[in-house]
Amino acid sequence: MEDEKINLLIIDDEERFLHTTQKLLEKRGVHTLTAISGTAGFEILESQPVDVVILDVKMPGMSGMGVLKKIKKEFPDIEVIMLTGHATVKSAVGGVKQGVFDYLMKPCDIDELLRKIEAAHAKKKGGGGK
Protein backbone atom coordinates (compact mmCIF):
# COMPACT_ATOMS: atom_id res chain seq x y z
CA MET A 1 0.00 0.00 0.00
CA GLU A 2 2.97 2.31 0.57
CA ASP A 3 3.56 2.70 -3.16
CA GLU A 4 -0.07 3.58 -3.88
CA LYS A 5 -0.27 7.32 -4.36
CA ILE A 6 -2.93 9.16 -2.40
CA ASN A 7 -5.07 11.57 -4.43
CA LEU A 8 -5.73 14.51 -2.13
CA LEU A 9 -7.84 17.62 -2.67
CA ILE A 10 -7.46 20.64 -0.39
CA ILE A 11 -10.38 23.09 -0.42
CA ASP A 12 -9.47 26.33 1.37
CA ASP A 13 -9.93 30.03 0.63
CA GLU A 14 -6.41 30.93 1.86
CA GLU A 15 -4.17 30.77 -1.21
CA ARG A 16 -0.90 30.92 0.72
CA PHE A 17 -1.98 27.96 2.87
CA LEU A 18 -3.01 26.02 -0.26
CA HIS A 19 0.28 26.52 -2.07
CA THR A 20 2.51 25.90 0.96
CA THR A 21 0.65 22.76 2.04
CA GLN A 22 0.54 21.43 -1.53
CA LYS A 23 4.34 21.79 -1.88
CA LEU A 24 5.00 20.10 1.46
CA LEU A 25 2.67 17.18 0.74
CA GLU A 26 3.89 16.70 -2.84
CA LYS A 27 7.45 16.38 -1.44
CA ARG A 28 6.11 13.58 0.77
CA GLY A 29 4.59 11.73 -2.20
CA VAL A 30 0.95 12.83 -1.92
CA HIS A 31 -0.64 13.82 -5.24
CA THR A 32 -2.25 17.11 -4.16
CA LEU A 33 -4.88 19.17 -5.96
CA THR A 34 -6.15 22.48 -4.62
CA ALA A 35 -9.34 24.52 -4.88
CA ILE A 36 -10.00 28.03 -3.57
CA SER A 37 -13.75 27.42 -3.06
CA GLY A 38 -16.31 24.67 -2.65
CA THR A 39 -17.51 25.26 -6.21
CA ALA A 40 -13.98 24.88 -7.62
CA GLY A 41 -13.54 21.79 -5.44
CA PHE A 42 -16.60 20.12 -6.95
CA GLU A 43 -15.31 20.79 -10.47
CA ILE A 44 -12.20 18.79 -9.51
CA LEU A 45 -14.17 16.03 -7.75
CA GLU A 46 -16.32 15.55 -10.86
CA SER A 47 -13.33 15.29 -13.19
CA GLN A 48 -10.56 13.51 -11.26
CA PRO A 49 -10.20 10.65 -8.77
CA VAL A 50 -9.88 11.88 -5.18
CA ASP A 51 -9.39 9.72 -2.07
CA VAL A 52 -9.25 12.30 0.69
CA VAL A 53 -10.41 15.93 0.98
CA ILE A 54 -8.94 18.46 3.40
CA LEU A 55 -11.69 21.00 3.89
CA ASP A 56 -11.64 24.38 5.61
CA VAL A 57 -14.65 25.00 7.86
CA LYS A 58 -14.87 28.78 7.31
CA MET A 59 -15.03 29.91 3.68
CA PRO A 60 -16.95 32.62 1.86
CA GLY A 61 -19.82 31.42 -0.30
CA MET A 62 -20.54 27.77 0.42
CA SER A 63 -19.36 27.02 3.97
CA GLY A 64 -17.20 24.04 4.79
CA MET A 65 -20.20 22.29 6.33
CA GLY A 66 -22.21 22.90 3.15
CA VAL A 67 -19.39 21.48 1.04
CA LEU A 68 -19.09 18.50 3.41
CA LYS A 69 -22.80 17.65 3.08
CA LYS A 70 -22.57 17.80 -0.70
CA ILE A 71 -19.39 15.67 -0.81
CA LYS A 72 -20.96 13.01 1.42
CA LYS A 73 -24.10 13.00 -0.72
CA GLU A 74 -22.39 12.87 -4.13
CA PHE A 75 -19.10 11.13 -3.26
CA PRO A 76 -19.83 9.04 -0.12
CA ASP A 77 -16.57 7.04 -0.39
CA ILE A 78 -14.33 10.09 -0.08
CA GLU A 79 -12.94 10.67 3.42
CA VAL A 80 -13.00 14.29 4.63
CA ILE A 81 -10.69 15.92 7.18
CA MET A 82 -11.94 19.30 8.39
CA LEU A 83 -9.42 22.06 9.09
CA THR A 84 -10.33 25.00 11.22
CA GLY A 85 -8.86 27.96 12.96
CA HIS A 86 -12.21 28.37 14.67
CA ALA A 87 -12.92 24.99 16.26
CA THR A 88 -16.10 24.85 18.23
CA VAL A 89 -17.75 21.89 19.85
CA LYS A 90 -20.89 22.60 17.80
CA SER A 91 -19.07 22.48 14.44
CA ALA A 92 -17.10 19.39 15.49
CA VAL A 93 -20.25 17.53 16.54
CA GLY A 94 -22.01 18.65 13.34
CA GLY A 95 -19.06 17.44 11.27
CA VAL A 96 -18.92 14.07 12.98
CA LYS A 97 -22.65 13.61 12.34
CA GLN A 98 -22.02 14.38 8.66
CA GLY A 99 -19.28 11.75 8.41
CA VAL A 100 -16.06 13.73 8.93
CA PHE A 101 -13.03 11.46 9.32
CA ASP A 102 -11.23 13.87 11.65
CA TYR A 103 -10.69 17.50 12.66
CA LEU A 104 -7.42 19.44 12.79
CA MET A 105 -6.76 22.94 14.09
CA LYS A 106 -4.94 25.46 11.90
CA PRO A 107 -2.06 25.86 11.81
CA CYS A 108 -1.34 22.15 11.92
CA ASP A 109 1.91 20.26 11.84
CA ILE A 110 2.54 18.86 8.35
CA ASP A 111 3.56 15.44 9.71
CA GLU A 112 0.37 15.22 11.79
CA LEU A 113 -1.64 16.23 8.72
CA LEU A 114 0.13 13.55 6.66
CA ARG A 115 -0.65 10.89 9.31
CA LYS A 116 -4.34 11.87 9.21
CA ILE A 117 -4.34 11.78 5.39
CA GLU A 118 -2.73 8.32 5.37
CA ALA A 119 -5.20 7.02 7.98
CA ALA A 120 -8.17 8.43 6.04
CA HIS A 121 -6.83 6.85 2.83
CA ALA A 122 -6.42 3.49 4.60
CA LYS A 123 -10.02 3.70 5.85
CA LYS A 124 -11.29 4.53 2.34
CA LYS A 125 -9.39 1.55 0.94
CA GLY A 126 -10.81 -0.70 3.68
CA GLY A 127 -7.75 -0.79 5.88
CA GLY A 128 -9.14 0.53 9.16
CA GLY A 129 -9.70 3.82 10.92
CA LYS A 130 -7.83 6.57 12.73
| Predicted confidence (pLDDT) at residue 1 exceeds the cutoff of 50 | no
The reply to whether 26 falls in a domain is: yes
Supply the CATH number for residue 36's domain: 3.40.50.2300
Answer yes or no: pTM beyond 0.85: yes
Structural domains of the chain, count: 1
What is the rounded distance in angstroms from the CA atom of residue 22 to the CA atom of residue 9? Answer: 9
Domain that holds residue 12: 7-123
The reply to whether 82 falls in a domain is: yes
| Predicted confidence (pLDDT) at residue 39 exceeds the cutoff of 50 | yes
Q: What is the pLDDT of residues 85-106, one digit of tens each?
A: 765 555 555 556 678 898 888 8
HSE, CB side, 13 Å, CA atoms: give it for residue 61.
11
The reply to whether 2 falls in a domain is: no
Helix (H, G, I), strand (E, B) or coil at 2: coil
The answer to whether residues 41 and 9 touch, using CB atoms and an 8 Å cutoff, is: yes
The reply to whether 130 falls in a domain is: no
